[in-house]
Structure formats: structure tokens, C-alpha cells
């Protein structure tokens, strides 16, 4: 992957262009709406008038039904408070008359409920066409800006892997970048936020630096973009002085011949543990003289451990002529396996980009230092589980083996011609504690 600062610069420019596209489309939309506004206002007025008319009709119908259900009093009926009985009417008959059905609880009659129907507001004309036009305008404007400013996001992400950037791909890259810019600034801001806020939790390693004479190391190479946009590889030395306690191996672990194999591992430990804990695992807990030849920490720091002119303790049956390279962390995520990191209890579930690049640089350097180590990923540079089949799952089910191999090849080939790289390798070959003979 490309250097983070280069990626962030490209994304920031793309976000600015996307914001400009958003403002342009907003202005265009306002212009389109102002041109058709008189039509929409008349449509809304008609809808309001129809609604008022429907409500008035509903009210008129309700009043009419209520008047039809009224029950008038009989004109010849004698009221219950009339004290004078009619001639020829006995008191019993008078009581029957007072309790006639007209004075009892009669059947209630209510008009049927009236629910006014309000017509729906008609949809503005050509609404779908306007939406499609605005979307196409955003994509087209994004592609034009990507071409003018020469922003190619796919190339930015893939150059670090040595992906060939051909003319057809360049056109496709402009198309993709234009769609990203036309899609708005919010997705780009989310990606920038993700890249800048991603952190690796690493405890301080003051104890390791004060107790052991461990050489601080830096990456062996870094990618620098020239004014012409050509990637060059600039060599940087590793501060190698024999690793941890090199004097203890002066008369032990001697090689019978130079190494012909690189075996890479994961430490299977929590990424938060410092380098000192890795050293203690071998020297204190297991009581061995040494361990891996190099350990790559989550921040990309290269920590030499075992002397390179001595064999280490990392691959049973293969130690005599091998170099052990360990990426710090537990990258095995099969939930049914013991000590698996499926739930993230050991920290990072895959190596960081810094670890992959630093580890690839070390492997490429070893391939230049030792003639018997070929750039062969089937025989000379192997993960632990392939070096010793059916013995281990190391470096874990989630270790990106293909990506790691591509990075090793990239650095090996990048150092083949530059004078500064070849001079650096030649100087490294003259250092002590490199060769057994």
C-alpha cells in the first residue's frame, strides 16, 4: 500500500473537489426549481381548493343526516305533567297513557360517519428526470475534475503493491475517481477519519531498552515520490549489532554452513506485550539461549534477537540452516482452536501494514546477504506451517501470506539496480556477526 501521507493528500484533494460538486449541484437544483416554480404553486393552490370543497361537502352531509334523525313530539299528545285527565278516561288509563312508548327509552339513531377524502398533492412534473439529470451531472463533473487535477485514487492505493498502471487502467481510474468525487464529500471524510484514527495499542518498552543492549532499528527502505511522480527506493541501514546478548552465543549455536531458508512466524502473543516479554519467553520461561533472529513490532520496528551468524530456536528440525523472522501478534482466528485470537483477546487479528513492509524488507535483505536463499516462495521463504507440515498453524489462519510474498518480491527487485541500495547491501556484508564462515 502507498505511504499514508500520500494517500491522505489525495483523499483530501478529492474531498475538496467533492464539496465543490455538491455546491454546484445545489445551485443548479435551485435554478431548476425557480424556473418551474409558478407551475408548482398553481398545482398546490388547486389542491388546496379541492380540499376545502371536499371538507365543506362533508360538513353539509353531516348536518343533513342529523336533521333527518330528529323525532318530533306528537301534536295531540298530553304531556305527563298535565293535571287534568281527559273526559271518560279512568286513572288507570291515564297511567297507561303516561307510560306510553313515546315516553320510554327509544332506539337511538345516528347518521353514518362521514370521512372527508382529501386529494393527494400531485407529484411535480418530471421529478424522476430531474433526479437522474442531477446524478449524471454529479458523476460527469466529478470525472472532469479528476482529469483536470489528475487525481487517481486507485493508482494511489495500488502503486505500493507494484500494480502495473497502463493506459486503459488509467482511464478506468479516472472514471472510478470521478464517481467517488460525484458521490459527495461525506464518504471521503469517513475514509480519511478511519485512516487517521486507526491506532495500534503498544505498551512502552522502557524496561527492554534499559535492561538489554538492544539495537534500535529503522525500516531498511522507504518509498519517496519524486517531482516526476516516479517511485524510487532509498536505502537506510539497520542498526544491527548482534541482537540480544550476542556474547552468550560466541561459543554456542554455531552454524555448519550459511542459511538457505527463511521461516516466518507470528509470536502468538498479545500485541500489547513489549519486546522484553518476547525475549523472556525464550530466555526465562523456556530457558533457551536464544529465539528468533528478528522480531517485527506492530509499529514496524525491527528488533534483532538472535545473532545472524548463529542458528536460533524457532523451527524444530529446521534451525541449523534457517533464519527465523517473527511478526509480533496472534493472527490465528479459528474459533475452535486453543489459544485462538478469534475474539480479539490478544489484540490485532492481522499484521499491521508497517509490520508487513518491515518484515518484507528484512526478508529481501537476507536474500541478498546469503547466496543460498533464493527468491523462491515454494522452497526458500516459507511460513512456519509449510516449513514443517502438520506441526503448527503458525503464522496463523489470518496472516496475509500472498500480500507478504508480493512485498518481499517488490523490495528485492527494487534494490536490484539503484546504486545507493547496492552500496548499502555491500556495506552490510562487511559487518561482524553476519556470516558463519
Please, what is the end-to-end C-alpha distance for the chain in angstroms? 38
Spatial CB neighbours of 338, under 8 Å, sequence gap ≥ 6 = none
Give me the mean pLDDT over the 350-374 stretch. Answer: 96
| Minimum mean pLDDT range among 41-45, 314-318, 382-386 | 41-45
| Minimum mean pLDDT range among 62-66, 258-262, 266-270, 374-378 | 62-66
Comparing 358 with 128, which gets the higher pLDDT? 358
414-422: which pairs have CB atoms within 8 A and are 24 or more residues apart? 414/221, 414/233, 415/221, 415/233, 415/235, 415/364, 415/368, 418/232, 418/233, 418/235, 420/234, 420/235, 421/221, 421/233, 421/235
Nearest CA to 345 among 272, 266, 278, 265? 272
The pLDDT confidence band at residue 101, using thresholds 50, 70 and 90, is very low
Q: What residue spans define the domains of the chain?
A: 4-36+126-197, 211-429
Q: Determine the 3-state secondary structure of 323 from DSSP.
A: strand
List, for residues 320-333, the tens digit of each pLDDT value: 999 999 999 999 99
Domain 211-429 is found in CATH 1.20.1530.20? no
Give pLDDT, residue 234.
Answer: 57
The whole-angstrom separation of Cα 386 and Cα 401 is: 11
Comparing 59 with 209, which gets the higher pLDDT? 59
342, three cell numbers: 478469534
Cβ(384)–Cβ(325) below 8 Å: no
Give me the mean pLDDT over the 130-153 stretch. Answer: 82
Confidence (pTM): 0.50
The pLDDT confidence band at residue 173, using thresholds 50, 70 and 90, is confident
List, for residues 388-410, the tens digit of each pLDDT value: 998 999 999 999 999 999 999 99
Give pLDDT, residue 100.
Answer: 44
Query: DSSP states of 72-131 as a string?
Result: PPPTTPPPTT--SPPTT--HHHHHHHHTSTTTS------PPP--PPPPPPPPPTTHHHHH
CA distances from 77 to 74, 84, 87, 259 (A): 5, 13, 15, 128
The whole-angstrom separation of Cα 283 and Cα 265 is: 18
Which residue do the cell numbers 522507504 mark? Answer: 222
Amino acid at each position: 500500500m502507498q505511504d499514508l501521507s500520500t494517500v491522505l493528500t489525495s483523499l483530501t484533494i478529492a474531498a475538496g473537489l467533492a464539496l465543490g460538486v455538491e455546491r454546484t449541484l445545489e445551485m443548479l437544483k435551485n435554478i431548476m426549481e425557480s424556473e418551474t416554480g409558478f407551475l408548482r404553486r398553481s398545482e398546490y393552490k388547486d389542491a388546496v381548493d379541492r380540499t376545502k370543497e371536499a371538507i365543506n361537502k362533508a360538513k353539509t352531509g353531516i348536518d343533513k343526516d342529523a336533521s333527518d334523525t330528529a323525532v318530533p313530539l306528537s301534536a295531540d299528545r298530553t304531556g305527563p305533567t298535565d293535571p287534568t285527565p281527559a273526559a271518560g278516561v279512568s286513572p288507570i288509563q291515564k297511567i297507561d297513557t303516561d307510560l306510553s312508548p313515546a315516553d320510554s327509552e327509544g332506539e337511538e339513531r345516528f347518521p353514518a360517519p362521514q370521512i372527508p377524502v382529501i386529494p393527494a398533492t400531485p407529484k411535480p412534473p418530471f421529478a424522476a428526470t430531474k433526479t437522474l439529470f442531477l446524478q449524471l451531472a454529479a458523476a460527469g463533473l466529478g470525472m472532469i475534475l479528476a482529469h483536470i487535477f489528475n487525481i487517481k485514487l486507485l493508482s494511489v492505493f495500488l502503486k505500493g503493491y507494484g500494480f502495473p498502471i497502463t493506459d486503459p487502467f488509467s482511464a478506468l481510474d479516472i472514471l472510478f475517481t470521478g464517481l467517488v468525487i460525484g458521490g459527495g464529500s461525506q464518504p471521503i471524510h469517513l475514509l480519511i477519519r478511519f485512516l487517521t484514527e486507526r491506532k495500534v495499542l503498544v505498551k512502552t518498552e522502557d524496561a527492554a531498552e534499559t535492561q538489554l543492549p538492544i539495537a534500535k532499528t529503522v525500516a531498511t527502505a522507504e518509498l519517496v515520490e519524486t517531482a516526476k511522480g516516479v517511485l524510487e527506493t532509498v536505502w537506510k541501514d539497520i542498526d544491527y549489532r548482534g541482537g540480544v546478548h550476542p556474547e552468550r552465543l560466541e561459543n554456542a549455536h554455531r552454524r555448519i554452513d550459511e542459511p538457505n531458508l527463511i521461516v516466518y512466524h507470528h509470536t502468538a502473543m498479545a500485541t500489547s506485550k513489549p519486546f522484553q516479554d518476547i525475549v523472556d519467553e525464550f530466555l526465562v520461561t523456556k530457558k533457551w539461549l536464544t529465539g528468533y533472529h528478528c522480531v517485527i513490532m506492530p509499529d514496524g520496528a525491527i528488533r534483532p534477537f538472535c545473532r545472524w551468524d548463529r542458528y536460533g530456536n524457532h523451527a524444530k528440525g529446521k534451525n541449523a540452516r534457517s533464519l527465523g523472522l517473527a511478526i509480533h501478534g496472534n493472527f490465528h482466528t479459528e474459533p475452535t482452536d486453543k489459544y485462538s485470537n478469534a475474539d480479539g483477546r490478544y489484540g490485532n487479528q492481522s499484521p499491521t501494514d508497517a509490520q508487513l513492509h518491515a518484515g518484507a524488507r528484512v526478508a529481501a535483505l537476507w536474500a541478498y546477504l546469503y547466496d543460498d536463499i533464493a527468491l523462491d516462495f515454494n522452497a526458500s521463504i516459507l511460513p512456519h506451517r509449510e516449513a514443517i507440515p502438520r506441526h503448527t498453524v503458525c503464522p496463523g489462519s489470518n496472516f496475509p501470506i500472498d500480500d507478504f510474498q508480493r512485498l518481499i518480491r517488490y523490495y528485492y527487485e527494487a534494490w536490484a539496480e539503484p546504486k545507493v541500495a547496492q552500496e548499502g547491501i555491500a556495506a552490510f556484508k562487511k559487518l561482524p556477526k553476519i556470516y558463519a564462515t
